[in-house]
Structure 1
Amino acid sequence: MKIAIMGAGAVGCYYGALLALGGHEVTLIGRPQHVEAMNRDGLRLERAGESVFVPVQASTEAEGALDAELVLVCVKSADTEEAGRALRPVLGADALVLSLQNGVDNAERLQAALGRGVIPVVVYVGTDMAGAGHVRHHGGGRLVLGGHLALAKLFTRAGIPTEISSNVQGALWSKVILNCAYNAISAIAQMPYGRFADFPGAERVLRDVVDECLTVASRLGVTVPGDMHEVVSQLAVLMPEQRSSTAQDLARGRPTEIDYLNGYVVRQGEALSIPVPVNRTLHMLVKMLEKKN
């Protein structure tokens, strides 16, 4: 299958590498320094102590998605509409579009920009870009799809554990709650999950963040599956060396996605008259650091 990845960052490159290794024709669309390195040497995938160079095509333009049968949109939340507008004139009528992004409403926003259906996907993976065209895997990799069994089978055959959910909105909220709990604190402290989770008082802060998010989700009519307090506490055990994407963005002087994580919960809380003081504080502190950068 011909597959395009719009947004050749850590998430896009990781899944692009696995799909290419699975025999698919993959084109990664991203920043010039990554595109140049990938076209010259291939995409470097580092995981489980090993490093391989994966042959891929790469482009800086949305035209790289021309004739693609499947398009994975992995851009930052703030770039969703721009990515949709760029892709709209080049997508074939039968192309399937998936949103592999943080946040709750990206698939809806992307759908409006494209004027066509978008399949939401929840991503559970720890990755970072270790250099130009060099993606490093820290753990995880599971996807949760809203419907479409054939796609789940395609990903699974490429070594990407994938499940179908009848409650994809709840699954999206589950991921957002994880992000709200870890991303801002990891960014403010510039610490990996395993280090700050054991810090005195961290467990209580994480619990407060989760409780605020669950209250907002409940009032919106969303059923969040599982025990989110247990899920949040286990993340630091499963990915002790992972720094959040927000921490990586701040360290590189780039805008973060915090407006679509804790900031989203703050906006929904305000609209519903629900106090969310911990999420509000974390959101404000990250925004201050963004401005300082």
Structure 2
Amino acid sequence: MVIKKVSIIGLGALGILFGNQFSKRLPRADLRIIADQDRIQRYQEDGVFCNGEHCDFNYVRPHEACEPADLLIIAVKFNGLADAIQAVKHHVGERTIILSLLNGITSEEIIGEAYGMDKVLYCVAQGMDAVKVENQLIYDHMGMICFGGNKTEKVNSLAEFFEQVEIPYEVDPDMLRRLWGKFMLNVGVNQTVSVFESNYGEVQVEGPARTMMISAMREVMALSEKVGVPLTEEDLDYWLRVLGTLSPDGKPSMAQDVEARRFSEVELFSGTVVKLGKRYDVPTPVNQELYHRIKSVEKQYTMA
């Protein structure tokens, strides 16, 4: 299988970052950004920029009939996933590979229920330090896309394609462990940076923020044992090293949401941890505190 046509839904930080890289290596017509008319109009009027460079994307509306994509990338926030699944239907064919760049540990199964798990490769985007403010994305490190599984033909085709378009990648045969590891990092970093109103730099050095972050991550480690994907100290050290490579001035999307007074993905992080803690009788006091503090901030949005 040769990947030629790529479709992306979601022009958040990752959609812009990888979309911009694809646009430099693919014919314009072969990269399609799926968006509704209102978004397309806004993108065209205001522009979309990546490290100061204007992104000349090819926009298509969800109802437009088209040739199915060889690779479909879903890069929306979790609260937009249901709508995105409906919006991409014309882009999914028998041989389409679907990657989810969403945070959390559930999006692949939700997409698989709609289009079949045979089309979905487990995937984790990691190591990027992108910051998006309105229509401007800035990043120092592109990071990489990790994927894998037992669908050998799809995995090999995707690896060859990423080589061609110069997207950093890693093939990991144990993607469930990788997925839970990234979830552990997100639970710690995204929420801690948000409640401390800081950046990666504050959790890269010893102090109250880093202590809270690691404590939240250890609660995920305890849960991972219960669900049969046990994370170890080695995994914790690995993800802390990944964190250490990020620009100290950068910050996760959740912190950017809180700054902009947008509702965050807290339910995806501490919300999920607290629920799983109750199900498996695992104490999660740090995540309960993070959940409470972020929800308290968001409550102010509706009172202003």
Answer whether TM exceeds 0.5 for this pair: yes
Higher strand share: 1
Partner of 2:66: 66
**Measured at CA, do residues 287 and 55 of structure 1 come closer, stay the same or move farther in structure 2, by a change above 3 Å?**
same
Q: Does 136-145 or 104-113 show the bigger shift?
A: 136-145
| Counterpart contact for 1:71–1:98, Cα < 8 Å | yes
Q: Is the 2:203–2:210 Cα contact (8 Å) retained in structure 1?
A: no
Q: TM-score, normalised by structure 1?
A: 0.88
| Aligned counterpart, 1:13 | 16
Count of matched residue positions in the alignment of Structure 1 and Structure 2: 287
Matching residue of 2:152: none
Amino acid at match of 2:31: V
Question: What SS does the aligned partner of 2:248 have?
Answer: coil
Counterpart residue number, 2:229: 222
Q: Describe how 1:57-206 pairs up with structure 2 within 5 A.
A: 57-59=58-60, 61-63=61-63, 66-67=66-67, 68-88=69-89, 91-115=92-116, 117-124=119-126, 125-132=128-135, 134-147=136-149, 148-198=155-205, 200-206=207-213
After the TM superposition, which of the residue ranges 146-155 and 172-181 deviates more from structure 2?
A: 146-155
Deviation at 1:55, TM superposition (A): 2.7
Unaligned segments of structure 2, at least 5 residues: 150-154
Matches of 1:238 and 1:91 in 2, distance apart? 34
In the other structure, the counterpart of 1:285 is 293
Aligned 8 A contact 1:126 1:239 in 2: yes
Alpha carbons of structure 1 residues 238 and 10: separation in structure 2 relative to 1, 3 Å: closer
Q: 1:81-110, CA deviations, whole angstroms, 9 ceiling, x for partnerless residues?
A: 221123235533332221111111111011
Note the residue ranges of structure 1 that are not aligned, 5 or more in a row.
none
Instruction: Please give the root-mean-square deviation of Cα atoms over the aligned residues, in Å.
Output: 2.5
1:246-292: CA deviation from partner (whole Å, max 9, x where unpaired): 11112222221121122212111111000011112112211221222
Given the superposition, is the C-alpha separation of residues 157 and 260 from structure 1 closer, same or farther in structure 2, using an over 3 Å criterion?
Answer: same
SS in 2 for 1:138: coil
Pair 1:243-2:243 in alignment: no
Deviation at 1:80, TM superposition (A): 1.7
Distance in 1 separating the partners of 2:298 and 2:195:
10
The Cα shift of 1:75 comes to 0.8
Q: Which residue in 2 is equivalent to 1:262?
A: 270
Cα distance, 1:30 vs structure 2: 4.1
CA drift at 1:42: 6.4
Quote the sequence identity (%).
25
Q: Please give the alpha-carbon distance, in whole angstroms, between the structure 1 residues aligned to 2:47 and 2:58.
A: 8
The SS at the match of 2:263 is coil
